[in-house]
Each structure stands twice: as structure tokens, then as C-alpha cells.
Amino acid sequence: MTAFLEMVNVSKVFSAGIIRRQHTVAVDDVTMTIDEQSPSILAVAGESGSGKTTLARLLLGVIPPSSGEVIYRGQSVDDLSREQRRTYLREIQPIFQDPFESYNPFYKVDHVLTVPAQKFQLAATKQETSRLIHEALDMVGLQPAETLGRFPHQLSGGQRQRVMVARAMLLRPRLIVADEPVSMVDASLRATILESIRRMKQELGISVVYITHDLTTAYQIADNILVMYKGSVVEAGSVEQVIRDPRHPYTQLLVSSIPQPDPSLPWGAEAEIAGDPESMEVAATGCKFVDRCPVAFEPCAGQRPLLFHEHPSRAAACFQYDKSPALEGQNLDVVFEPQLKSQSSADPQKSATIRNPPTSEGGL
Amino acid sequence: MNNGAVLSVNDLRVYYDTDAGTVKAVDGVSFDLRPGERLGLVGESGSGKSTMALALMRLHKPPARIAGGEVLLDGVGDVMKLDVDGLRRIRLDRMALVPQGAMNSLNPVMRIRDQLADGIRTHEPGDTRDDLAERIQAQLGRVGLDAEVGGKFPHELSGGMKQRVAIAIGTSLSPSVIIADEPTSALDVVVQRQVMETLRSVQEEIGASVLIVGHDMGLMAQIADRMGVMYAGKLVELAPVHDLFTNPQHPYTRLLIESVPTLMAKRALASIPGAPPTLINVPPGCPFHPRCPSAFEPCDSEVPLPTAQNGRVVSCHLYPGEAA
């Protein structure tokens, strides 16, 4: 059984400068699998400069990895034939952050729906195309009559972003990579978009990689999470474990910094003791968080910590947990919970046509 | 000046004249800013919150215009009636702005210390060179920046440091009123917290009152003493922050709080049906009535007036009572 999409020791290094060449490791050795038998929502969380968007772009095939491989259905994305690449580009759909820049203001919003429908030959007739578009708009809670035929500026930011979700859904992808899909949408409309992303998993069996800086929305919609810091995965596992009981000092800092919408729950004690949170400098050796870490001890400055498997569904890259075994091959799959539950709750009619029966094989 | 408020806003109206019609961005907003308090003002994009914040210092830009109302600053009078000289005298000295996105408000070709010196020298000439340097250094220290930051240019600083510089400039003359317009938007959560706590400590140190405009309910819950909610150019509710979160009165406030995801429990995310109105075509009656689950007869025809009770104000027909 070949997996849908695998990242095997994927790294991405950006280089800049001619005389003094500077290298930035945006993604540092990530190994994981996205499996289509058990669709799940994986949150990739981190702050600016953590490499989360680079990870998304690697998954989307927009940029090639510097080392390691992205493997689509058993074949490296670099080696896909024209026809295979076409399927790959249909099966993995992006949703971007800015619902304003994703549109050409001179075209009606219909354009972003009809063009992909034609290019990927989703339907034989115009009527069929129109039916698919209506279905996709319904799915995200938009009235086709009030949406189609309008120009982007006539829709609100929330509506524009929902059309983008509908566009992604229209192509019946196996994976949606959503990069901060709600960070520019108002609070009252944010929930609708997140809810439609959740429905994609539950009703259509589409896996989602949800890139975000916001751990609260990640907690609400995702099954699993990986937390990135300066390109490295510092903690990964189920959201229950990682967000409710974080083990890496960086994740702990992030969680305690979230302002809770409840005045009786003040910010936790300041965990950080030193260091500039926005510095982009990375020590050549040792843990990347060492200069800001309140619990740093001897080994931390000397070598990079591996991801230690200190809980069945959680791993943390921190020497505090080096009594636990390191993840084999640093492969994250073992800490991610398979999400087979969604199979039973899914609409049987819809899921029957688009999803294969679950197998006993593990994976994401 | 009534009841000792530092700043008293009465029926403020700010309109934009556009080809498509008059946009009532701020439509009859009244509130008092009390001495030493942190008043949070939340609203979604297009609710008029930023327009109002800027208009309080008459920093709004055309086509926005003050269409009515007064802003009484303690010891000064109506800011809306000041002439250019009068405005220049109170800005920074009595009322200061900490702008949104400090990256765009700092001068890119001026060292940080010169940008700090600019305001101090204008309002309080007479410092010797050494005194000024000392003041600048102290001011940077107050916001948690090293003295060496003074010699840098804005592009050499991170977003959080730039925002701290903006706070340092805004508080350099110990104003009695600070208007902070989304002071931490675009910052990461760890830095956001540090900048907010810096703003709080400086504000407490100089005893200023601060109006914090934002959209993040969580941040407001952490920082504000009282909180106002704006919708379609109107202040629909104003209450002590604890009361507002435990017992929101206006249906919009309640739905807004329910729509905020938390780490407490996983639940179906609530959202408010419909979309905020464009301010050219505000619905008649209560502007929220088309989206309101509790709307009844008067809502689509009569504009609810603010009513005051137990130190809180709400504009909703569900709460008839004494006019505020």
C-alpha cells in the first residue's frame, strides 16, 4: 500500500547574498506521511519565520526540497510525468491567507470556480459544471444566487475566503493545504470557514494541513499538530497531548502566551528568561531554542536534540526527555493519531463514492 | 468636565463623503475615559473603531470629517474646536498615539534616538544635549530596550522592538491619554504579550489613561479594565471587562464572545450569521437586527438608545431603561 504523500527527511535551505552567502534553514529534516485511508487534520503551528509556510509550499510542490524527497503515491514529485503531475496538482489544493489577493478584480468570482472546472475537465457539460459549483458553494454555506455573478469587491472578506474553500473543494482533492486561512477574516465569520474545513474531512474524507500561528483554532479543528521553531519540529503529536499538556519549553511558552478570552484566566507566569524572541540567528550546534530556554542544561548547547517519544501520541525535541527513545528515523507518523472515527460519522452516500474502505495499516 | 473623566466623548460623529454616499463610520459615540484606566474598544473591520480612535486626536484623514459631537480633554476643552496651534500643543504632550504597525509610522531614514528627540525638543525645548540623551536612554529602558537601540535605524529592529519604540515615543512626554490603535496586530503571540505588558507597565508608571483599539477579544480580556464593543459605527455596549465576559448584554457581544475559540473545550465553533453591513447602507433601526437572534418588533424601525445600569451601558431594545 503506497501512501498518498510522504515527506522523507525533507529540508529546505534558502541562500542569499553573493559575497557573504547566508543560508537559512527554513525546514529542517521533516519526515511524515499523509495517508488517504484515514483522513485527518494536521495543524502546522509556529510563529513568523518558523518555516511553516515553506513546509506548505513543499507539500504543494511549488518549491523543490534542498534535500530529502516529497513522494506522491510512491513516486518522487520531481519525477512525475506530465499526466501524473496534473493529477498531483488537482489532488492537493491550496487555500491561501489573503482572500483579497487570490482574485483578479476584473473577473467575476465565478471565474475562480469555472476555470479550474474546465482545466481539470471535472464535468462534461455546462449544466454539470454548474451543478458542481452550486454543490461546493452550498458546502461552505454560501447562497449560489447571492455569490455568483458578483465581483470580488462586492463580497466581504469572509465570503471571499469561503469561495476559495469552495474552489478547493470543487476539485475533489485528497489533501487541502490551508495556509492561515482565517487570519485575515473577522472573528464572527472565522468559525464558518473553520467549520467548512472540518466538514471537508468529515464528509468528503479530505485530509487537511492547517498552517497557523493560532494554537486555539488549531486545537479546535485539528487532530494532530506539529510545532515548528526556526525550521525544526520541536514537538508533535495529538492536539490533546501537545496543546493541553505541552512538553517542549517553546510550546509551553506559546501556550502560556495565548490571551484567553476570560478576564479570570490571566496570562500564565512569564516562562521566558532571556533572548530576543524575534532574532533569526540560529546556533550552528545545539538546540535552536537554547538561548531563550528557561530550563537549558549542559547538553543543550552542544548538540541538536532528537525528537524523543515520551508519550504514545507525543514527541518533543528536548533533552529533558532523552530517557525516552528517539523517534525511529525521526518519523512523525507514530505520534499522530489515526483518525478512523470520522469514517463512521461521515455521510455514507458521499463517502462511498469517494473513499476506499479503511485498511488496518497505520500511518497518519 | 463631568465626573472627573480625563477624556469625555459626547455624541461623536465621523462621516466619510464618498461618491456612493455618506459613510457614517462613527455615528453618535459617547463614553468617558477615566483616570488611569485601560479602556478596550473592540469591533470587526469596518466597525469604525480605528476611525474613531484617530478622530479623537483629529488625526483622521479626508474624506473623513467630524460631523458632530465633542471630545472634552481635561484641562483643555473640546479637542474638536482647537485651532492648529492648539492641536499641536496637546498632541504627544497631553494625548499621544501609539499607532498600528509601527513599521510604517517610524521614519526609515532617521535613527531611533532622533525620532524620540524630535517630540521632546518640540514640546520641551531647553534640555541640554546631555539631559536629552539621558531622557532618551531612560525612555528606551522604560520600554525594555537597550540604550544601543537609540543608534539604530528602524529596519534594523524586529517588529516587536519597533512597536516598543512607538510606545517609547508615545509616552515620552507622559501624556494623560494614550490612544493605542491595534498596537500588537501583526505580532506573534509571545511578542504580542511582551509588548502589551510593556504598554501596561509604562501606562501605570506615568498614570495615563489608555484607549486600546483592537479586534482580539482574548487580548482585551487580559489587558482592559473596561471594554466597549462597536458595531456599524455605534458603541453597542460598554461595561467592566469582567461583567462583559461573564454577562454580555448585547446579543452581538454575546455572539462575538461565543465565536472566539478557546483552549478550554472543543465545541462546534459558533459564528454570527450574515455579514457586517457596509456603512453606506446601514439597516434601519438597530444596525444589528438582520443578524440578531433576539430581534423583535421595534428593532427594525427604532434605533435603540444607550441605557445605563450598574456602571454599564448597552444600546439594545432588550434593555429598556434610563437613557444614558
Nearest CA in chain A to B240: A263
- d(CA A69, CA A115) in angstroms, rounded, equals 31
The pLDDT, as a whole number, for residue A349 is 41
The pLDDT, as a whole number, for residue A275 is 61
CA distances for A135 relative to A139, A202, A203, A350, B274, angstroms: 6, 16, 13, 12, 20
Sequence-distant (6+) residues with CB within 8 A of B143 are B164, B165, B167, B168, B171, B198, B202
Residue B322 lies in a domain: no
A68-119 confidence digits (pLDDT tens): 999 999 999 989 999 999 999 999 999 988 877 888 889 999 999 999 888 8
What is the gyration radius of the CA atoms in chain A, in angstroms? 21
Domain residue limits at B170: 7-314
Residue B242 lies in a domain: yes
Residue B2 lies in a domain: no
Name which of B259, B266, B267, B281 to mutate to probe chain A: the one with the most chain A Cβ atoms within 10 A of its Cβ: B259
B154-212 confidence digits (pLDDT tens): 999 988 899 999 999 999 999 999 999 988 887 888 889 999 999 999 999 999 999 99
B155 CB within 8 Å of a chain A CB? no
Which residues of A lie closer than 8 Å to B, measured between beta carbons? 47-48, 156-159, 186-192, 194-195, 213-217, 219-221, 243-244, 253-255, 257-267, 272, 276-279
Residue B319 lies in a domain: no
Residue in the structure block whose three cell numbers are 484641562: B75
> What residues of A are in contact with residue B270 (Cβ under 8 Å)?
191
Total structural domains in chain B? 1
Give the mean pLDDT of A237-256: 94
Residue B324 lies in a domain: no
The pLDDT, as a whole number, for residue A153 is 87
pLDDT band at A354; cut points 50, 70, 90: very low
A308-335 confidence digits (pLDDT tens): 999 999 999 999 999 999 998 889 999 9
Select the highest-mean-pLDDT range: A341-350, B95-104, B203-212: B203-212
Give the mean pLDDT of B94-120: 89
Residue B222 lies in a domain: yes
The pLDDT, as a whole number, for residue A44 is 96
Q: Report the mean per-residue pLDDT for chain A.
A: 85
Orientation of helix A110-119 relative to helix A157-170, angle to 10°:
10
Give the mean pLDDT of A128-147: 89
Name which of B155, B263, B272, B288 to mutate to probe chain A: the one with the most chain A Cβ atoms within 10 A of its Cβ: B263
> What residues of A are in contact with residue B148 (Cβ under 8 Å)?
none
The pLDDT, as a whole number, for residue B268 is 74
pLDDT band at B44; cut points 50, 70, 90: confident
What CATH number is given to the structural domain containing B37? 3.40.50.300
pLDDT band at A240; cut points 50, 70, 90: very high
List phi, psi (to 5°) of B317: -65, -15
H or E, element range at B12? strand B7-18
Give the mean pLDDT of A59-65: 93
Instruction: Say yes or no to pLDDT of B304 above 60.
Output: yes
The pLDDT, as a whole number, for residue B3 is 65
Q: Report the mean per-residue pLDDT for chain B.
A: 90
pLDDT band at A347; cut points 50, 70, 90: very low
- d(CA B89, CA B175) in angstroms, rounded, equals 12
The pLDDT, as a whole number, for residue A276 is 67
**A216 to B262: CB separation less than 8 angstroms, yes or no:** yes
Are residues A290 and A283 in contact, defined by beta-carbon separation less than 8 angstroms? yes
Instruction: Say yes or no to pLDDT of A156 above 70.
Output: yes
Chain B residues 118-137 with CB within 8 Å of chain A: none
Indicate the length of chain B as a whole number.
Answer: 324
Are residues B88 and B126 in contact, defined by beta-carbon separation less than 8 angstroms? no
- d(CA A207, CA B286) in angstroms, rounded, equals 42
pLDDT band at A234; cut points 50, 70, 90: very high
The pLDDT, as a whole number, for residue A343 is 39
Indicate the length of chain A as a whole number.
Answer: 364
> What residues of B are in contact with residue A279 (Cβ under 8 Å)?
158
How close A39 comes to chain B (CA, Å)?
A: 19
Instruction: Say yes or no to pLDDT of A284 above 80.
Output: no
Q: Which of helix, strand or coil describes residue A64? A: coil
Q: From edge to edge, which strands make up the β-sheet containing A41-45?
A: A92-95, A175-179, A207-212, A41-45, A224-229, A232-238, A314-316, A308-311
